[in-house]
Amino acid sequence: MFGWMGKLLRVSLSLGKIEEGEFPREWRETYLGGRGIGAKILWEETPANCDPWGEENLLIFATGPLTGTGIPMSGRFSASTKAPLTGTIFDSNCGGDLGVRLKGCGLDMLIISGCSPTPVYLVIDATGAHLKDAVGLWGMDIPATKAALKQKEGDTVSILTIGPAGENLVRFACCENNGRYLGRGGVGAVMGAKRLKAIVVKMGERKTSIADGERLRFVIYEMRKWLEANPVTSQGLPHFGTGVLMNLMNEVGILPVKNFQRVSSPQAALLSGEEVSEKILLGQKACPHCPVACGRVTSTGPERGEGPEYETLWALGVNMEVYNLSLVAEANYLCNRLGLDTISTGGTLACAAELAEKGIFRGGIKFGEGDKLKEMIENIAYRREEGDLLAEGSYRFAEAQKVPDTSMAVKGLELPAYDPRGAQGQGLAYATSQRGGCHLRAYMIGPEVLGVPKMVDRFEAEGKGGLVIFQQDLNATLDSMVMCRFSSFAVGDDYYARLLASVTGLDYEPQDLHVIGERIWNLEKLYNLREGIGGDQDTLPPRLLREPVKERVVSLETMLEEYRRFRGWDKKGKPQKEKLKRLNLLEEKNNGKGT
């Protein structure tokens, strides 16, 4: 029995048409779901150089084979598109309940094409789907949109929506679903360009099919035991959220401060997970089927909301030299309300603050100006005053000021909260990431700082190529099974293979997962090459390559050479024929004309 049905809905917003469909079984086996299937469809169905804002760009919401099975940490979904911030292939992953709800309605995926002439929202239930007028919702922030939709569609619906930032095409606008976010890359702006304000999914009764229920129950039992035994998943994340990383990253000197001009701060502890728990925490929040519950529900007194997580504490706090927890939390709530990615918001503001410090950009915000954070965030979301420039993201903003090197971004995506001059492998992971400056394609902080699965020398460049590839491939598979990354603190590829085999009824060995991930990684590379994003863009902001901290820069050239050799790519970073043949990707060479 094959427990992964591949049912999809195609929604053409230009034509106002909705059709049911199914994706080929072969794709299910070779790309699994989520990010993998998203990449395959973008490759097959969008033309080369399509405009991220245009009708031809697709927005694909996908579940995975494990979604709806109740497996711990599997209640997530992903969105894939060509990103307006980077121009690369992009997928974003979210722990809201939309994926589980889609499965309940008998659906695995939505493919949204075209652009509606007027604002609409999509309603899905077990009997079908239809588009409804959203003119009255356009302009509302996220809480107001959800309240209005619940009034129209019922209290129990799941709502994925954008806020004003998405409508105003801020290049790093996000989407919200049940207090969780499709954060990075501007997925919310693609929805805005399509004039799709929201997706509403009603309750359905369909159960996800499972090939071998008895085997699955046992694997889940074991997995729960491992999650309980692991200190990160049983204590660190539940008690302190991801903010538990703050003090450690500061201690080891990889916490970026002032737009990566320094790597530690004596005040960082004021924004630690421990401080969040002591001062503002109301409770935990979990994605569906997750016993870890790393999310934070907090209150500053006057305001209440979700977050801040580690990356936000850093981006809006440490990196901006704002060490007031309430101000940072409230800036986070505002980003949540307006629909902005907090990492890119903070990264862009830090870039503006550095240019203000150097006298290159007037207006904007200076480091330490915490009381100006909210005003700047509003200006970005509504593209008011200098916010209009900042809404383009740090790279386009810095380029317009004729100092592009001040943008701490890779391929246009602002870097997260780890300075790679103190973790060489993380530098390679950033540079080679297909979606730009991201710590989730390969989290080398695991082996280089946390000692997970085992400690390696973080200052050593040699030998990092293989480790990065191992993580990139496995993570591509996890994103396609649609499993939370934090599960990998407690279990390894053998567990993922057993979960997949139990649900699908197919024989998956750990090595198969790495091959699937490698295929997805190479297909994403082919997509980026097709868009003109070549190996020369597998690099880092010059600051990380030329300005030493503690006498160290990132030794990228050494690592890239090894990386490309291990990947079976040529010296310029292009996959070679032999590699593509082995991955059954050779026939992909001439695609990209659209279908």
- φ, ψ at 148 (rounded to 5°): -65, -40
Laid out side by side, the sheet with 196-201 consists of 128-133, 120-125, 196-201, 158-161, 175-177, 180-182
Could you say whether residue 486 binds ligand SF4 (CB under 6 A)? yes
Q: How far is the CB of 382 from ligand SF4 (least distance, A)?
A: 30
Closest distance to ligand SF4 from the beta carbon of 488 (Å) = 11
Handedness of CA 323, 324, 328, 331 (dihedral sign): negative
Residue among 286 and 403 whose Cβ is closer to ligand SF4: 286
Please report how close the Cβ of residue 509 comes to ligand SF4 at its closest, in angstroms. Answer: 25
The residue from 294, 365, 438, 445 that contacts ligand SF4 (CB under 6 A) is: 294
293 lies in the site for ligand SF4, by CB under 6 A? yes
Task: Write the single-letter amino acid at 3.
Answer: G
Distances in Å between the Cα of 586 and the Cα atoms of 84, 519, 522 are: 28, 11, 11
Cβ proximity to ligand SF4: between 18 and 297 the closer is 297
CB nearer to ligand SF4: pick between 28 and 103: 103
Our finding on whether 287 is near ligand SF4 (CB under 6 A) is: yes
* Stretch of residues binding ligand SF4 (CB under 6 A), selected from 107-115, 187-195, 271-279, 291-299: 291-299
Binder of ligand SF4 out of 200, 484, 503, 533 (CB under 6 A): 484
Q: How big is the chain by its Cα radius of gyration, in Å?
A: 22
Stretch of 12-20, 293-301, 328-336, 539-547 lying at the interface with ligand SF4 (CB under 6 A): 293-301
286 counts as binding ligand SF4 under rule CB under 6 A? yes
The DSSP letter of residue 68 is T
Considering the complex, state which of residue 242 and residue 432 has its C-beta at the smaller distance from ligand SF4. Answer: 242
Closest CA to 234 of 294, 283, 274: 294
Window 213-252: residues binding ligand SF4 (CB under 6 A): 237
Q: Which of residues 94-133 bind ligand SF4 (CB under 6 A)?
A: 95
**Per-residue H/E/C for 564-583:** HHHHCECCCCCECHHHHHHC
**Residue 233 or 522 having the CB closest to ligand SF4:** 233
Residue of 13, 59, 71, 73 that binds ligand SF4 (CB under 6 A): 73
Query: Please, which residue, 290 or 545, has the CB nearer to ligand SF4?
Result: 290
| β-strand pairing of 59-62 with 109-113 | antiparallel
- Contacts made by residues 222-226, CB under 8 angstroms, sequence distance 24+: 222/495, 223/71, 223/72, 223/487, 223/490, 223/491, 223/495, 223/499, 224/72, 224/291, 226/490, 226/491, 226/495
By C-alpha distance, which of 487, 467, 514 is closest to 32?
A: 514
Residues ≥6 apart with Cβ < 8 Å to 206: 103, 104, 105, 106, 126
**Residues with Cβ within 8 Å of residue 505, at least 6 apart in sequence:** 1, 2, 3, 211, 212
How many whole angstroms separate alpha carbon 493 and alpha carbon 487?
11
By CB under 6 A, is residue 268 in contact with ligand SF4?
no
Question: Which residue in the set 170, 175, 292, 365 belongs to the binding site for ligand SF4 (CB under 6 A)?
Answer: 292
The piece of 15-23, 125-133, 167-175, 286-294 that touches ligand SF4 (CB under 6 A) is 286-294
Q: How far is the CB of 483 from ligand SF4 (least distance, A)?
A: 8
Q: How many residues bind ligand SF4 (CB under 6 A)?
A: 12
CB of 290 to ligand SF4, least distance (A): 3
Q: Which residues form the interface with ligand SF4 (CB under 6 A)? A: 73, 95, 237, 286-287, 290, 292-295, 484, 486
